[in-house]
Amino acid sequence: MTIALETQNLEKQFGGLRVTRDLSLKIEQGARHALIGPNGAGKTTVINQLTGVLKPNSGRILLEGQDITDLPVHKRVLRGLSRTFQINQLYPDLTPLETIGLAVSERLGHGGDWWRRMGTRSDVNGEIADLLTRFHLLDVKNEQTVTLPYGKQRLLEIAVAIAAKPRVLLLDEPAAGVPESERHDILAVVGSLPRDVTVLLIEHDMDLVFSFADRISVLVSGALLTEGPPEQVARDPQVKAVYLGEEAVNV
Amino acid sequence: MSASSDVGYHAQRQARWHYGEAAFWLIVLACGFVFPSRYLIMTDILRLALFAMSLDLILGYAGIVSLGHAAFFGVGAYAAGLLALHGIINEPVLALVVAGLVAMVLGFATSFLVIRGVDLTRLMVTLGIALLLEALAERFSNITGGTDGLQGIEMQPIFGEIPFDMFGKTGFFYSLAVLFLLFLFARRVVHSPFGLSLRAIKNNPLRAAAIGIPVNRRLIAIYTLAAFYAGIAGALFTQTTAIASLDVFAFERSADLMLVLVIGGTGYLYGGLIGAVLFRMLQELFSTITPQYWQFWIGLVLVAIVLIGRQRLHRWMLYVPNLVIRQIAGRKAVVAAPESDA
């Protein structure tokens, strides 16, 4: 099996605090890999290093075998590494149509076009239409993002990441804060991602993790505690100790 | 209609011309015939409008604040002055473009300083650059004429055909043509994927990078373009007034520009144009009432704008015109209040 995304001895410190400790992860091509851990375990810090928002103090990050440790954020995206954010990072003034249109344009290399009007490329328009439909955003495509209900914003957050046609997708708590009534849409979308897309899921919600992941890594205090298939991780006494009192692990 | 062409239709929604826009430009053109005794002040407004549009490109679209935009205005002004004074390029249009390009080069060079850091840093860096240039212009008085400025500039006819007249009629229509052409260009650019990516960067630079937008490169590009626009505005100043003095770099010029955009609104290109008209009219009005204290009233107006909110003011102002438009051209033609805030 080929490795889609790999970290080698990743190390990150904020002042004296080691938030990522000698972390070596291997995520297989096409995997549904979950990264779990209690609050403050440094999960989001890992994501931020993978995507280039933060630079690790040492260690390497490989995307499909190539070293991307020093690449800026936008170049990693063009190489097929895309993410969603735990807290929505959208464009409040832009519409879903514009937001997705921009992501598609950038991927196809039209993002720097300064003369041709937005909306005049049929290939881009087609993809926008597809994504809007798939993510149930067609009816709100011309509304300003800031005015959308939270669940729709969450869908848009994921749609934008998918618009980059990633080969590796990092989902940072995709269902966080979504009301129960709208959760189903999110979970369905996450579940229907094509199999050739490798997914790394950061999640608190154990139901989601155990229904979705085929492999789980447990992060505690920035270091890898254990890793394995869901059944094995669920039985692991160390993991149980970490999540003591959280009945969700009793799968 | 298929979903794809429907998307295309809606994506171009803002790029399409509205009745209100056509009306706006027709009114501006009509002013040139209706008020033949007011060419000088109207030309002044056109220059200010172009200058403000330049700031709107970086502030309203890309979210780059600047307190030193006069740097590019000044460089354009002196470049045009020197070209004409020494007879290097006699034809005004060509000289205008060259002066704009000189400012553009400066814009490109300084953009690397400006894109680093956040708002406060940017305010200080832009302010610093303008002050620096003002001091340099004063120091090298053998070139710039120092505090006396460039004197004895004689403008040759446009295209060798149309001479500048003493009433400023040529200057007005020349400035209007330049403003309109540059407006058309800017309008095209802001509705392109590039223009949209600027708005994305302004909204959320973190996400912008996360969808593959090279944030810094885009900011450098628009800053450079805005410098070109400001340089053209400065060159127009010299060409239509036949003087260039140190005050082209003055801090007040950069600060006034911010006021113009606060009045007119940012992020829809017309803010600078409408703001320039209102700003000069207020200035005129207040200085007739109280010649010494007009700045007090301008200040009061600004505070009111910020407190009441510009969107609400625009809606009030557009209320009567929209009643008329609705009768004539129907509901769709109604001029909407601009969408974004400074």
pLDDT in tens, chain A (251 residues): 689 999 999 999 999 899 999 999 999 999 999 999 988 899 999 999 999 999 999 999 999 999 999 999 999 999 999 999 999 999 999 999 999 999 999 999 999 999 999 999 999 999 999 999 999 999 999 999 999 999 999 999 999 999 999 999 999 999 888 888 888 888 888 888 899 999 999 988 888 898 899 999 999 999 999 999 999 998 999 888 887 555 444 44
What is the domain count for chain A? 1
Query: Quick one: closest CA in A to B13, which residue?
Result: A119
Do B4 and A129 lie within an 8 Å CB cutoff?
Answer: yes
Whole-number Å distance between alpha carbons of B305 and B111: 31
Chain B residues with CB inside 8 Å of A164's CB? 211-212
Q: What are the backbone angles phi and psi of residue B330, rounded to the nearest 5°? A: 90, 175
A117 in a domain, yes or no?
A: no
CA distances from B315 to B300, B311, B322 (A): 20, 6, 9
Compute the nearest-CA separation of B296 from chain A (Å). 34
Return the pLDDT at B332: 60
CB B74 within 8 A of CB B149: no
Contact by Cβ (8 Å): A125, B8: yes
Q: Is A221 on the interface with B (CB under 8 A)?
A: no
Judge whether residue B168 has pLDDT over 80.
Answer: yes
Angle between helices B310-329 and B19-34 (to 10 degrees): 90
Cα angle, residue A172 at apex, residues A171 and A174 outer, rounded to 5°: 75
Are B7 and A160 within 8 A, CB to CB? no
- Residue carrying structure tokens 């007034």: B241
> How is B174-185 classified by DSSP, letter by letter?
HHHHHHHHHHHH
How far is residue B274's CA from residue A91's CA, in Å, rounded to a whole number? 27
A133 touches chain B (CB under 8 A): yes
d(CA B285, CA B293): 12
DSSP for chain A, written as a single string: --EEEEEEEEEEEETTEEEEEEEEEEEETT-EEEEE-STTSSHHHHHHHHHTSS--SEEEEEETTEE-TT--HHHHHHTTEEE--SS----TTS-HHHHHHHHHHHHTT-TT-SSSPTT--HHHHHHHHHHHHHTT-GGGTTS-GGGS-HHHHHHHHHHHHHHT--SEEEEESTTTT--HHHHHHHHHHHHTS-TTSEEEEE-S-HHHHHHH-SEEEEEETTEEEEEE-HHHHHH-HHHHHHTTT-GGG--
> Is residue A211 a part of any domain in this protein?
yes
Q: Give the C-alpha separation, A51 to A63, whole Å.
A: 10
CA distance A90 to A96: 9
Q: What is the pLDDT of residues A106-142, one digit of tens each?
A: 999 999 999 999 999 999 999 999 999 999 999 999 9
Residue B206 to residue A93, Cβ atoms within 8 A: no
Identify the helix (H) or strand (E) that includes residue B240. helix B215-241
- pTM of the model as a whole: 0.91
* Cβ pair A102:B7 closer than 8 A: no
Q: What is the CATH number of the domain that holds A209?
A: 3.40.50.300
Residues B196, A102: C-beta atoms closer than 8 Å: yes
Query: Residue ranges per domain, chain B?
Result: 19-333
Nearest by Cα to A172 from A1, A71, A49, A78: A49
Q: Quote the CA–CA distance of B178 and B239 in Å, as a whole number.
A: 12
Task: Please report the pLDDT score of residue B333 as a whole number.
Answer: 61
ipTM: 0.90
Q: Give residue B158's pLDDT.
A: 94
CA distance B112 to A18: 34
Domain that holds residue A49: 3-93+164-249
